[in-house]
Amino acid sequence: MAAESLCEPLFRRGGEFLGVRHPILCGAMTWISDSRLVAAVCNAGGFGCLAAGNAPVAVLEGEIQRTRELTRQPFAVNLVTIAPLYREHLDLVCRMRVPFVIFAGSFPREGAVRRVRETGARVLCFASTDSIAMRMIRYGADGLILEGMEAGGHVGHVSLAVLLQQVLFRVAEVPVFVAGGIASGRLCAHLFLMGAAGVQLGTRFAVAHESCAHAAFKDAFLRANARDAVSTPQFDSRLPVVAVRALRNQGHADFARLQLDLIGRLDRGEIHRDQAQLEVETFWMGALRRAVQEGDVGSGSLMAGQSVGLVDRRQSVAEILAELVGDTEQELRRVRQVLCSPPVSP
């Protein structure tokens, strides 16, 4: 007789919402989360998120179609609201009626959320503060991804530990998935016990066998420590930039110089703030592409979460998911044993 699964009741809400066995999301990583990786995650029982990034519309359309050919399971398309091609991407996902749309980068307008939901898709929105979480719920988001500053790529400024208390413990009306600094099933167990509908990992999947990232990119992750993944500063409020967490390298220094150059051009009236912000995003998109596709780990962008310090080997997607689920189950059994053990007599 099979042993009772302690994961099953904790996985139920998120699993039913996403239509998957395991409510474990592979976060959308620009240039990495392509149809092959997404389908591998979906076929292994998890939930894959296709990264739109700033891909040409025809390329994104082809990736959505290939994902549908590679898996019959539900998946999401992640739209970056601050990407230059965001509006065209929004038109595309509405036309193609993808099952889930995730808004990332910044918060979407209420009309965009409503438009996507009218196609029948479910909408997930990132929340990096409690106020953004409440706003996204008011806008009609079907679920939230609560992302702490420990995550890689575009991040906020509040840790997951604080966001759990501010949002997860207080929100019941929509499922809340959590992200940022997660790499082990043991931690996943406690997040599910806290009420998370699911968990999202990115950095660990970036080095999976099915990841298209260059070998040099993966090797940089395997060598890195948690403290190597640092977020970029903002030098001037006139040039608001979404912080980016990546491994420290020459690219970080190049970005600092870019900001100072843009601030100088703003001072001289040579450029408008919107154009300056566009140049910032163009920089990151190009730097990330060079790192992922060409292996430029010196001046390219190695976007990684602090969990990179816990990633020490390459595995297949199926192995990663099996290990996460198995370790979650093992930790739940350990917790049950602790709670059910008789008190020690004084």
114: its two tokens: 């409503």
Calculate what percentage of the chain has a pLDDT beyond 70.
Answer: 99
pLDDT digits (tens, 9 = 90+) for 65-95: 999 999 999 999 999 998 889 999 999 999 9
pLDDT of residue 123: 98
* Chain mean position to CA 270: 35
124 within domain boundaries: yes
Q: What is the DSSP letter of 154?
A: E
Q: Is the pLDDT of residue 12 over 90?
A: yes
pLDDT of residue 2: 58
CA dihedral 139, 141, 142, 148 (to 10 degrees): -140
Q: What is the pTM of this model?
A: 0.93
Same domain, 84 and 116: yes
1 within domain boundaries: no
Same domain, 325 and 188: yes
As to burial, measured by CB atoms within 10 angstroms (0-12 exposed, 13-18 middle, 19+ buried), residue 138 is exposed
Same domain, 205 and 246: no
**Alpha helix (H) residue ranges in 183-305:** 185-194, 203-206, 215-223, 250-267, 273-289
210: its two tokens: 């099915």
266 within domain boundaries: yes
345 within domain boundaries: no
Same domain, 42 and 179: yes
CB 305 within 8 A of CB 229: yes
Number of domains in the chain: 2
Task: Give the CA angle between residues 253, 255, 259 to the nearest 5°.
Answer: 120
Same domain, 13 and 154: yes
Domain boundary among 267, 294, 321: 294
Q: How far apart are CA 100 and CA 145, in angstroms?
A: 13
pLDDT of residue 259: 87
Q: How far apart are CA 28 and CA 141, in angstroms?
A: 18
CA neighbor of 204 nearest in space, from 227, 228, 224, 189? 224
What is the amino acid identity at position 185? G
**Residue of 242 and 54 predicted with greater confidence:** 54
Q: 100 has which bridge partners? A: 76, 122
340 within domain boundaries: no
What rounded mean pLDDT belongs to the chain? Answer: 94
pLDDT of residue 283: 85
Same domain, 98 and 129: yes
Same domain, 168 and 30: yes
Same domain, 48 and 68: yes
Same domain, 162 and 235: no
For residue 57, what pLDDT band results from cuts at 50, 70 and 90?
Answer: very high
37 within domain boundaries: yes
Q: Is the pLDDT of residue 305 over 60?
A: yes
Q: Is the pLDDT of residue 40 over 80?
A: yes
- Mean pLDDT over 327-335 rounds to 98
- Mean pLDDT over 104-132 rounds to 94
Same domain, 21 and 76: yes
Q: Which of 2-11, 202-211, 279-288 has the highest mean pLDDT?
A: 202-211
Q: Is the pLDDT of residue 124 over 70?
A: yes
pLDDT digits (tens, 9 = 90+) for 14-33: 999 999 999 999 999 999 99
As to burial, measured by CB atoms within 10 angstroms (0-12 exposed, 13-18 middle, 19+ buried), residue 147 is buried
pLDDT of residue 154: 86
H helices, E strands: number in the chain: 13, 11
pLDDT of residue 346: 62
pLDDT of residue 278: 81
pLDDT of residue 168: 97
CATH number, domain containing residue 47: 3.20.20.70
pLDDT of residue 1: 46
Q: How far apart are CA 199 and CA 331, in angstroms?
A: 16
Same domain, 279 and 136: no
- Mean pLDDT over 303-309 rounds to 96
5: its two tokens: 């699964």
305 within domain boundaries: no
pLDDT digits (tens, 9 = 90+) for 222-272: 999 999 999 988 888 888 777 889 999 998 888 888 888 999 998 898 988
Tell me the residue range of the domain where 34 lies. Answer: 7-213+310-332
CB 307 within 8 A of CB 204: yes
218 within domain boundaries: no
**Least-confidence region, from 21-25, 134-138, 201-205, 287-291:** 287-291
CA neighbor of 104 nearest in space, from 167, 48, 52? 52
Same domain, 169 and 235: no
